Amino acid sequence: MSHRNEAVGEDVAKRLARISGHAASLVRMWDNERECDEMLTQISAVRGALDQVARVILEHHIEHCVGDAIEHGTRDEVVRDLKKSLSRIL
């Protein structure tokens, strides 16, 4: 992420650390033969957390990277990059 500001960087780092912890707990749940419905609930929570961190990163990308490109008059490049970013998370 270019042009990263400190607040966004800290927010994303905290979110990713939480996601990492949840993913590690899924491994432990599997190893401990926990019920499938418990694991599916945990997977749903991880997916939701990933969606939220993707939203934060995308918003930052739009505000900073896309904004900078618009200022420099590279409209076609901006549109292409934004489409590429959106296709990655949708």
Q: Please state, in angstroms and rounded to a whole number, the distance separating the CA atoms of residues 78 and 67.
A: 9
3-state secondary structure the chain: CCCCCHHHHHHHHHHHHHHHHHHHHHHHHHHCCCCHHHHHHHHHHHHHHHHHHHHHHHHHHHHHHHHHHHHCCCHHHHHHHHHHHHHHHC
CATH number, residue 42 = 1.20.58.1000
The residues, ordered by sequence, that sit 6+ positions from 58 with a Cβ below 8 Å of its Cβ are 85, 86, 89
pLDDT digits (tens, 9 = 90+) for 23-66: 999 999 999 999 999 999 999 999 999 999 999 998 888 888 77
Would you say residue 1 lies in a domain?
no
Q: Is residue 29 part of a domain?
A: yes
* pLDDT single digits (tens) 68-80: 777 777 778 888 8
Question: Considering its fold, how many domains does the chain have in total?
Answer: 1
77 lies in a domain?
yes
